[in-house]
Chain A
Amino acid sequence: MKTRLGTRLKSGILFGAFLPSLTAGIAASEEQATTPAAKNRVAPVPTESRRLALETAGAFLNDGFRIRDGEWKGTLSKGVPLFLQVTLFAGEIYWFVAASPAQGGALRVTVYDSVGKAFKGEQWKDPNGDGGARSAAGVAPEKSGKYFVGVELLEQPNVPSADFSLVYAYK
């Protein structure tokens, strides 16, 4: 799969071009916070993993992607991948973003088809690892149906296990 978005994500994250989007997003959320409805709401405090995952996935918003409200969270150990079942639609583009605040770790996100074969798509990995590990996989399935998303720890972080959060964006 070759999408303009994939290129944008890679270059955007590598060269900081997505920062204006993030800044705009923060400004928008601050603006929202001034509305009466938002003032009354006590939002749940997201975990650091979720915050990192949403921050990374936020780069897609300006490209017309929507981020699902839910998250998949868990704890990873090296050599023990975890899997989530998802339902994808033909013709849509998806990015699955995983993040962990564990320093020194490296994550890999892989999308598998219904029989468990790795699905060809785009991969992105945070090159710096500043503030934790972040990784993403982008796919554009040609068939609607059941798929799996796997998250694994490629490098052991400084702690024995690493909390992670996975979110996804679609358009």
Chain B
Amino acid sequence: MVTGRHFAIPALLIPLFLCLPAWGASPPAIAPMTEAQRGEAVFLDAMSIPCPGEVFVALNKACRPNWATLVTPATAPVSTDRAQLALAVGVLAANGYIAVEAQDGQQVRNVGREILSVAKALGVSQSLMARGNSLMEFAENNAWDALADELEATENEVKTTMVEQKDRDLVCLTSAAAWLRGLEIASGVVLGSDSLQGLEVIRQPDLAARLATQLGGLPPRFKGGAQVSLVKETLESASSLLAVKEGRSKEELRATLQKIHDDCSAVMKSILASVTAEGSPSGTPATTPSATPAATNLSPSVTQ
């Protein structure tokens, strides 16, 4: 005879069964991004573009570069071309990171002074005086981590001031130049290794393409400049050269890297070249006359 007890047991067990999957289940899988989400993802200068310090940290892990041999004298160009000056800020900031990696305090001070001189020529130096002083203090105390942070903060402050002064377009020039200077250094370091150690670090074709696109969207008054055109062309070329192509021999890779390195070096030379009285860039960079130590409250430049 079927009694109420026979129904009671399944009645208790069925809800228990229903609950079991919830107990044992792993957390729900995260859905992949849709194409629209990827297309609409935010691209921020201060977050989406790695700072040179980040590139160099990655390079340090892949192969230990001799940073002392990579330090170059910090010299800002004499120019009234705002686009060129914005590019120069990026190059100088990257030079600062190299000096930090080399633990060369004097060179960091020189870079700080030159950044301030360019900032002054751009009319964005007011808020940067304290940054310059901090760079000096940290360099004197060999506070290398703090210096790296301060360099990034200085570069960002220049960019913020550009935005505040309705010069938003100049920001992408600074970022592009800093990245290309990092690429020049990184490609040189990789070329110095027989096994091309560190190659994986510099493979950023998407970023090169993105930066080139940003430069393509600049207003004609900036886009037409010689340096900006050269930077854009170099970014486009680097983007296609850095794209991973399977089956390339080491010789082909080396030749590719050499081209990237040479192109970047040519861009750096052009950015840091001062404009002569005739208006053409000279090969010798020089500091701006206004950038005297007294004006910037920093010590004179000493190159080692």
Q: Which residues in window 12-32 of A have CB below 8 A to B? A: none
Closest-by-CB residue of A relative to B38 is: A116
In the complex, what residues of B have CB within 8 A of residue A38's CB?
A: 130, 134
**Does B6 sit within 8 A of A, measured CB to CB?**
no
In the complex, what residues of A have CB within 8 A of residue B281's CB?
A: none
In the complex, what residues of A have CB within 8 A of residue B47's CB?
A: 68, 70-72, 84, 86, 166, 168
Bound complex: CA A148 to CA B36 (Å): 13
Are the C-beta atoms of A68 and B152 separated by less than 8 Å?
yes
Which of A1-9, A48-56, A89-97, A99-107 is near enough to bind chain B?
A89-97
Knowing A68-B46, A68-B47, A84-B41 are in contact, say whether A90-B201 is a contact too (CB < 8 A): yes
Which of B30, B48, B148, B156 interacts with A87 by CB under 8 Å?
A: B48
Bound complex: CA A110 to CA B27 (Å): 14
**B302 → A minimal CB distance (Å):** 21
Bound complex: CA A81 to CA B200 (Å): 31
Chain B residues packing against A (C-beta within 8 Å): 29-35, 37-38, 40-51, 53-55, 57-58, 61-62, 129-131, 133-134, 136-137, 145, 148-149, 152-153, 156, 200-207
Are the C-beta atoms of A83 and B33 separated by less than 8 Å?
yes
Bound complex: CA A155 to CA B258 (Å): 52
Bound complex: CA A116 to CA B149 (Å): 31
Are the C-beta atoms of A91 and B149 separated by less than 8 Å?
no
Are the C-beta atoms of A70 and B38 separated by less than 8 Å?
no
In the complex, what residues of B have CB within 8 A of residue A90's CB?
A: 58, 62, 200-201
> How many residues belonging to A are interface residues under a CB distance threshold of 8 Å?
42
Are the C-beta atoms of B38 and A91 separated by less than 8 Å?
no
In the complex, what residues of B have CB within 8 A of residue A118's CB?
A: 29-32
Are the C-beta atoms of A116 and B34 separated by less than 8 Å?
yes
Knowing A69-B46, A84-B47 are in contact, say whether A143-B200 is a contact too (CB < 8 A): yes
Are the C-beta atoms of B201 and A110 separated by less than 8 Å?
no
Q: 18 pairs across A/B with beta carbons < 8 Å?
A: A37-B130, A38-B130, A41-B130, A41-B134, A66-B53, A68-B46, A68-B47, A72-B44, A81-B37, A82-B42, A83-B33, A85-B41, A85-B42, A87-B206, A112-B32, A116-B33, A150-B33, A170-B54
List 8 tightest A-B contacts by C-beta distance, closest first: A70-B46, A116-B33, A37-B133, A89-B58, A41-B130, A83-B41, A118-B30, A146-B206
Are the C-beta atoms of B152 and A37 separated by less than 8 Å?
no
Knowing A40-B133, A70-B156 are in contact, say whether A112-B33 is a contact too (CB < 8 A): yes
Chain A residues packing against B (C-beta within 8 Å): 35-38, 40-41, 66-72, 74, 81-87, 89-92, 110, 112, 114-118, 143-146, 148, 150, 166, 168, 170-171
Are the C-beta atoms of A145 and B204 separated by less than 8 Å?
yes
Closest-by-CB residue of B relative to A119 is: B30
In the complex, what residues of B have CB within 8 A of residue A143's CB?
A: 200, 203
Closest-by-CB residue of B relative to A118 is: B30
Bound complex: CA A70 to CA B49 (Å): 10
Which of A67, A72, A117 interacts with B42 by CB under 8 Å?
A: A72
Are the C-beta atoms of B54 and A89 separated by less than 8 Å?
yes
Closest-by-CB residue of B relative to A74 is: B42
Knowing A66-B53, A66-B145 are in contact, say whether A144-B201 is a contact too (CB < 8 A): yes
**B40 → A minimal CB distance (Å):** 7
In the complex, what residues of B have CB within 8 A of residue A37's CB?
A: 130, 133-134, 136-137
In the complex, what residues of B have CB within 8 A of residue A71's CB?
A: 46-47
Bound complex: CA A74 to CA B44 (Å): 12
In the complex, what residues of A have CB within 8 A of residue B145's CB?
A: 66
Are the C-beta atoms of A84 and B42 separated by less than 8 Å?
yes
Q: Which of A36, A87, A117, A150 has the most CB of B within 10 A?
A: A87
**A27 → B minimal CB distance (Å):** 14
In the complex, what residues of B have CB within 8 A of residue A36's CB?
A: 133
